[in-house]
């Protein structure tokens, strides 16, 4: 071992001990006849001292140390005269008697500091240097801890971690698969799993009873901040359970993680909200309930006053932003621009200010008199000083836009504190969603999701009305995970495939092995999966999941550090019996 | 929850309780007016009792239950009059008052019993049913436990588990990569990692200090019993360590696993053997030291007696099989056939029997008199009743053949008990191996392995003589894992690439990012990786790693259960700008 102690553990009680440390040079500074070198490792920073007078040769060598040199230093622990309270080891320093340079370093392209001078691109290219920074490394340590505690909790609950294969078959349903040509089975391809869904259901058929896996999953989708081509799920499945059992166990897991890792205890059970209510009051299936500002539907009360915008709209709804009646013309204009952005797509924004004297000032003064505005304001329980913001149009689009506006107001009012956590179960999702383009139903969750027994009768008459035993856990507006009770009855499963437009042949080709398995005694089962990347991001207060992944890819799916993907040898392609089609040049 | 208790937990102390169980029908039998149904889940088997007299309707329904039906039964726990000591729940039975069939089952293609009637092929196709068998499921439970305890041990030793990417770049060196075409980077490919080697070294450059990962690795190689296209490694790396530190930590891990999981304590440190001694005395770099039977080299003592086979051989060596002098002509012929098999390739087998009267009987009586045979026997310390077996020929091939013969004799003599475990470190591996075909050196371990400092001078004069800081852990003749101290000095690394025939350009293209990283202060580091599949197989006493993998592939790399790999849609290929070359038809 090149060291007897780490750079984070020495305290004044160690004074007088001879120790050897090894690590990186964080910085060096000369003061009078002394040279001070901060040596850093994963565990902390310790101050080394060299004295020009007592050992000039050694001190000269210390003076030549560059940033990020790897060194080994032996010396005596001494209590500092001026202690540094910002540093765990700030009470001591090492009076160095031996110094070895284990490796030199050229000057790094950015500073290894909490507030580095490096931009995103350069830090991605030199990710191995970025990972030296405390801020980045601590995210990885948190990730380790969350994964470890998740395993510990689930092991104690009798869950078995089972590794399911990475080289599986392609299933055209769902997102796009990454495929892997097989050399031993020419012309055929493996696919990388989008999730271990089918395998975990097979494990339930196998009687594994309680399964989990912290599993790598893959989707060849266009990327954005919270998507990576490979991502990690805490994937779980249980047998002989109903929805309530699954919610209880996994609420327990999340509670344990918050408590053990962040010291946060939640009072009482996590609140639950139906999908219908989530859409009605928040316009989102993942509402951020750190703040209230619920939607109020106004269609009825505002109709018939000759205001064409409202009269022609399917939906009119608004939110009440407390204390924002003081918003200037400019601020209102900003909000109007915000909702009119193409990603949000509202046509305009109506406001009603509740003035301090109880009167109303509004962009629709012409159509609604003070009494009428008062009636509207009462629906919001608006107080003097509040600002009511109203959108109108097609129901789904307008609710979505109003959700964005609500979140924006939450941000502006500082109501979305990253250190406040508000978990929520969203339940009773619809089983299907209708797609206008293809004029067919799609499974909202996946084709194995069980309908609610009490809604079974709608399967034939009005499939859109059938609710599923499906649930999502949402924290602070982030969908941490979700799952469902699965269909364990072959007949019901076949009916589902039919409704989803699978011919029996197509269902057999894609899910035949699961359908076969279900003939041999499938138990009632259900489960869920959490996104580990999102969970870590949430705990760390990160804006992008990239920051909690050791070696992430950029928005083009490239790892710019190792420069992958890349061209491969012609012989490799030949062995796989593949040729590349050159891209069209005109 | 569909049950209040599992099928494995009820004891006579539960008598009188009303319980609900859920599980699979293991078997049913009628005796007099009673029907007994064994219900099985992951946790055990419990006997259900139905009484024709007291509830004939219920009993009739129980009589109709088929094997592997999924049922739910409620009833009172009662102490059995005739207890079954072979069953954990054998003291009790359930007097059933309610019975629900949760799912039916068609008749399984083989019996779900410890000794099933199903052959390998059918069990692979219906793997989900095979996994219901105790023997198979217990391997998966052992795997979970080994993985979990490994994590717990390493977490306590300050190791951080870091996930490294699965979609990386291809490195033509080493085994063949699986490649993944990139849709977003047309004409380019990801590769699946053969190991996280480069990433773990980068994490050391990043100051992670102690890393591990239970990682999926991929090799597109031709398969055999102990190889799978995807396999799992316990991959570890440490900074600021020397070889001794690595051996200590990971001997500790293996010791912990044996102790915690199998209740086995090893006395003293694991023995260590140099690679040179392993080859000299066992003809293998993974000797099985559960039994002795060391090689004795005879070239010197047997030469010059006009026996051309020995005189012309580079190597003459033998083993002494205790108590085998009674072997018949037929048995000796069997052994001769054994060593002459093409996989082993010896030309013939010489024997010397030490008779009970102290005389010698040998297939080379014509060339060696009794005194000469006595001299040979003395080198083996052979006792009356022993059988000496001798092979001769080219050194490497003959040692390899003699190793096979030794293992065969160990098997015949019952010296290779699966319940006896003999761990061993093999150390001081050569840095390079010379390949006659390509007339160049190859890295025996990998190109980042550090030579021993004291052998550095041979790098230029006699590279074959340089020993590496590389080590393998071997248990019972199985290489459980291995690793090395890495080169952390760029100059030495460049010299290595040169010796391995890499041009600077090729080294840059393949390992450029690692070489760049090493310029920014790489610490001294080293590590190792254990094969999790092999470790579980060893603990479970399995002959193939397949049995400890939930969903393994066959020797053609196929998952016959899900029928993967398979053809993919033309549109998928098109999107990837790839075409298939039809196989040649003549």
pLDDT in tens, A267-290: 999 999 999 999 999 999 999 999
Q: Which residue of A has its CA nearest to B581?
A: A577
Average pLDDT over residues B499-521: 87
Structure tokens belonging to residue A335: 């909000």
Angle between helices A243-262 and A134-156 (to 10 degrees): 140
Q: Which residues pair with A467 in a beta bridge?
A: A430
Say yes or no: B569 contacts chain A, CB-CB below 8 A: yes
Q: Which residue of B has its CA nearest to A552?
A: B165
Tokens 């705990």 appear where?
A: A539
Spatial neighbors of B323 by CB under 8 A, at least 6 apart, are B385, B386, B387, B413
pLDDT band at residue B585 using 50, 70 and 90 as cut-offs? low
Please tell me the distance from the alpha carbon of residue B288 to that of residue B577, in angstroms, as a whole number.
Answer: 51
CATH label, B422-525, candidates 3.90.230.10, 3.40.50.2300, 3.30.930.10, 3.40.920.10: 3.30.930.10
Please tell me the distance from the alpha carbon of residue A546 to that of residue A554, in angstroms, as a whole number.
Answer: 9
Average pLDDT over residues B178-183: 94
Q: Is B177 within 8 Å of A572 when comparing Cβ atoms?
A: yes
pLDDT band at residue A510 using 50, 70 and 90 as cut-offs? confident
Of the candidates B322, B328, B324, B296, which has an alpha carbon nearest to the alpha carbon of residue B392?
B296
Please tell me the distance from the alpha carbon of residue A279 to that of residue A426, in angstroms, as a whole number.
Answer: 10
Q: Which residues pair with A50 in a beta bridge?
A: A35
Q: Which residue of B has its CA nearest to A126?
A: B517
Average pLDDT over residues A333-355: 96
Structure tokens belonging to residue B3: 């049950």
Say yes or no: B509 contacts chain A, CB-CB below 8 A: no
Residues A291-412, CATH architecture: 2-Layer Sandwich (3.30)
Of the candidates B18, B150, B343, which has an alpha carbon nearest to the alpha carbon of residue A148?
B150
B502 pLDDT above the threshold of 90: no
Q: Is A105 within 8 Å of B521 when comparing Cβ atoms?
A: yes
Average pLDDT over residues B394-401: 96
pLDDT band at residue A490 using 50, 70 and 90 as cut-offs? confident
Q: Is A562 within 8 Å of B513 when comparing Cβ atoms?
A: yes
Q: Is B22 within 8 Å of A202 when comparing Cβ atoms?
A: no
Which residues of chain B have a CB within 8 Å of the CB of A27?
none
Which residues of chain A have a CB within 8 Å of the CB of B219?
none
Q: Is B207 within 8 Å of A556 when comparing Cβ atoms?
A: no
Please tell me the distance from the alpha carbon of residue A413 to that of residue A434, in angstroms, as a whole number.
Answer: 37
**pLDDT tens digits for range A9-37:** 999 999 999 999 999 999 999 998 999 99
pLDDT band at residue B170 using 50, 70 and 90 as cut-offs? confident
DSSP state of A383: -
Of the candidates A162, A200, A239, which has an alpha carbon nearest to the alpha carbon of residue A514?
A200
Average pLDDT over residues A77-88: 95
Predicted confidence at residue A173, as pLDDT, reads 65
**pLDDT tens digits for range A230-262:** 999 999 999 999 999 999 999 999 999 999 999
pLDDT band at residue B255 using 50, 70 and 90 as cut-offs? very high
Q: Is B519 within 8 Å of A128 when comparing Cβ atoms?
A: no
B171 pLDDT above the threshold of 80: no
Please tell me the distance from the alpha carbon of residue A157 to that of residue B240, in angstroms, as a whole number.
Answer: 38
**pLDDT tens digits for range B79-103:** 999 999 999 999 999 999 999 999 9
**pLDDT tens digits for range A451-465:** 999 999 998 899 999
Average pLDDT over residues B456-473: 94
A492 pLDDT above the threshold of 70: yes
Please tell me the distance from the alpha carbon of residue A168 to that of residue A164, in angstroms, as a whole number.
Answer: 9
Say yes or no: B522 contacts chain A, CB-CB below 8 A: yes
Which residues of chain B have a CB within 8 Å of the CB of A157?
none
**pLDDT tens digits for range B571-582:** 889 889 999 887
Which residues of chain A have a CB within 8 Å of the CB of B165?
230, 551, 553, 559
Say yes or no: B584 contacts chain A, CB-CB below 8 A: no
Structure tokens belonging to residue B363: 């297939």
Mean residue pLDDT across chain A: 94
B440 pLDDT above the threshold of 90: no
Structure tokens belonging to residue A102: 């284990």
3-state DSSP percent of chain B in helix, strand and coil, to 5: 30, 25, 40
CATH code of domain A12-103? 2.40.50.140
For chain B, percent of residues with pLDDT exceeding 90: 84
Compute and round to an integer the Cα radius of gyration of chain B. 30
pLDDT band at residue B212 using 50, 70 and 90 as cut-offs? very high
**pLDDT tens digits for range A144-164:** 999 999 999 999 999 999 999
Q: How far is A465 from chain B (nearest CA, A)?
A: 26
Average pLDDT over residues B463-486: 96
Which sequence spans correspond to the domains of chain A?
A: 12-103, 134-265+529-573, 291-412, 422-525
Q: Is B168 within 8 Å of A559 when comparing Cβ atoms?
A: yes
Average pLDDT over residues B370-396: 97
Q: Is B550 within 8 Å of A245 when comparing Cβ atoms?
A: no
Predicted confidence at residue A582, as pLDDT, reads 79
Of the listed ranges A203-212, A573-582, B515-524, the one predicted with least confidence: A573-582
Structure tokens belonging to residue B144: 């979970």
Average pLDDT over residues A517-528: 96
Q: How far apart are the first and last CA of chain A?
A: 62
A438 pLDDT above the threshold of 90: no
Q: Which residue of B has its CA nearest to A566?
A: B188
pLDDT band at residue B278 using 50, 70 and 90 as cut-offs? very high
Residues 14-43 of B with CB under 8 A from A: 22-24, 40-43
Predicted confidence at residue A172, as pLDDT, reads 65
pLDDT higher at B273 or A581: B273
For chain A, percent of residues with pLDDT exceeding 90: 84
B586 pLDDT above the threshold of 70: no
Spatial neighbors of A197 by CB under 8 A, at least 6 apart, are A446, A448
Domains A12-103 and A134-265+529-573 share a fold: no
A217 pLDDT above the threshold of 70: yes
DSSP state of B406: H
Say yes or no: B245 contacts chain A, CB-CB below 8 A: yes
Q: Is A169 within 8 Å of B559 when comparing Cβ atoms?
A: yes
pLDDT higher at A348 or A571: A348
What's the predicted TM-score (pTM) here?
Answer: 0.96
Nearest-5° Cα angle at B548, B543 to B553 = 90
Of the listed ranges A108-112, B175-179, B211-215, the one predicted with least confidence: B175-179
B353 pLDDT above the threshold of 80: yes
pLDDT higher at A438 or A305: A305
Q: How far is CA A313 from CA A302, A317, A348, A398, in A?
A: 11, 10, 12, 10
Predicted confidence at residue B225, as pLDDT, reads 62
Please tell me the distance from the alpha carbon of residue B304 to that of residue B310, in angstroms, as a whole number.
Answer: 9
A174 pLDDT above the threshold of 80: no
Predicted confidence at residue B371, as pLDDT, reads 96
Predicted confidence at residue A296, as pLDDT, reads 98
Predicted confidence at residue A140, as pLDDT, reads 98
Q: Are B451 and B431 in contact (CB under 8 A)?
A: yes
Say yes or no: A182 contacts chain B, CB-CB below 8 A: yes
Complex ipTM value: 0.95
**pLDDT tens digits for range B305-322:** 999 999 999 999 999 999
For chain B, percent of residues with pLDDT exceeding 70: 98
Q: How far is B570 from chain A (nearest CA, A)?
A: 11
Average pLDDT over residues B527-541: 97
Phi, psi (degrees; rounded to nearest 5) at B281 = -100, -20
Which residues of chain A have a CB within 8 Å of the CB of B132?
206-207
Domain B134-265+529-573 belongs in CATH node 3.20.20.10: no
Q: Is B166 within 8 Å of A166 when comparing Cβ atoms?
A: yes
Q: Are A321 and A405 in contact (CB under 8 A)?
A: no
A53 pLDDT above the threshold of 90: yes
């Amino acid at each position: 071992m090149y060291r007897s102690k780490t750079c984070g553990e020495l305290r004044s009680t160690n004074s007088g001990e001879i120790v050897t440390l090894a690590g990186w040079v964080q910085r060096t500074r000369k003061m009078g006849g002394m040279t001070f070198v901060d040596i850093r490792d994963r565990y902390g920073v310790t101050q080394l001292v060299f004295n020009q007078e007592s050992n000039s040769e050694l001190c000269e060598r210390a003076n030549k140390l560059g940033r990020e040199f790897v060194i080994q230093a032996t010396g005596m622990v001494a209590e500092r005269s001026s202690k540094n309270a910002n540093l765990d080891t700030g009470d001591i320093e090492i009076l160095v008697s031996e110094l070895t340079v284990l490796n030199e370093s050229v000057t790094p392209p950015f500073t290894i500091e909490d507030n580095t001078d490096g931009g995103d691109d350069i830090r991605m290219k030199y990710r191995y240097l970025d990972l030296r920074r405390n801020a980045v490394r601590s995210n990885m340590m948190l990730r380790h801890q969350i994964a470890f505690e998740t395993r510990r909790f689930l092991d104690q609950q009798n869950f078995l971690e089972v590794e399911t294969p990475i080289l599986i078959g392609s299933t055209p349903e769902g997102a796009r698969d990454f495929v892997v040509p097989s050399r031993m089975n020419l012309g055929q391809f493996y696919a990388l799993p989008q999730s271990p869904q089918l395998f975990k259901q097979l494990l339930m058929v196998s009687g594994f009873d309680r399964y989990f896996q912290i599993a790598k999953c893959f989707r060849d989708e266009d990327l954005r901040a919270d998507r990576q081509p490979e991502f990690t799920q805490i994937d779980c499945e249980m047998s002989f359970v109903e929805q309530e059992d699954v919610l209880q166990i996994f609420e327990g897991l999340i509670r344990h993680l918050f408590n053990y890792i962040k010291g946060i205890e939640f009072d009482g059970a996590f609140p639950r909200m139906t999908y219908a209510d989530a859409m009605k009051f928040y316009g989102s299936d993942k509402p951020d309930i750190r703040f209230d500002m619920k939607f109020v539907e106004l269609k009825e009360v505002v109709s018939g006053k000759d205001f064409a915008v409202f009269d022609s709209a399917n939906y009119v709804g608004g939110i009440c932003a407390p204390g924002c009646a003081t918003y200037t013309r400019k601020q209102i204009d900003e909000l109007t621009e915000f909702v009119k952005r193409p990603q949000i797509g509202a046509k305009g924004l109506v406001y009603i200010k509740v003035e301090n004297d109880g009167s109303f000032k509004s962009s629709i003064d012409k159509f609604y008199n003070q009494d009428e505005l008062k009636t509207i304001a009462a629906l919001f329980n608006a107080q003097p000083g509040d600002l009511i913001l109203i959108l109108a149009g097609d129901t789904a689009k307008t609710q979505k836009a109003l959700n964005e506006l609500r979140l924006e107001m939450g941000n502006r009012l500082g109501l979305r504190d990253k250190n406040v956590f508000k978990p929520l179960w969203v339940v009773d999702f619809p089983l299907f969603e209708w797609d206008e383009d293809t004029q067919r139903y799609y499974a909202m969750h996946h084709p194995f999701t069980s309908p609610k027994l009490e809604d079974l009768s709608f399967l034939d008459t009005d499939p859109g009305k059938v609710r599923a035993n499906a649930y999502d856990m949402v924290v602070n507006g982030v969908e941490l995970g979700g799952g469902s009770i699965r269909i364990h009855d072959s007949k019901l499963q076949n009916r589902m495939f039919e409704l989803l437009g699978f011919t029996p042949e197509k269902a057999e080709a894609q899910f035949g092995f699961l359908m076969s398995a279900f003939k041999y005694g499938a138990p009632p089962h259900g489960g869920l999966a959490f996104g580990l990347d999102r969970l870590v991001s949430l705990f760390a207060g990160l804006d992008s999941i990239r920051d909690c992944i050791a070696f992430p890819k950029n928005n083009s799916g490239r790892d710019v550090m190792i420069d992958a993907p890349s061209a491969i040898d012609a012989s490799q392609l030949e062995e796989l019996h593949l040729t590349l089609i050159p891209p069209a040049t005109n």
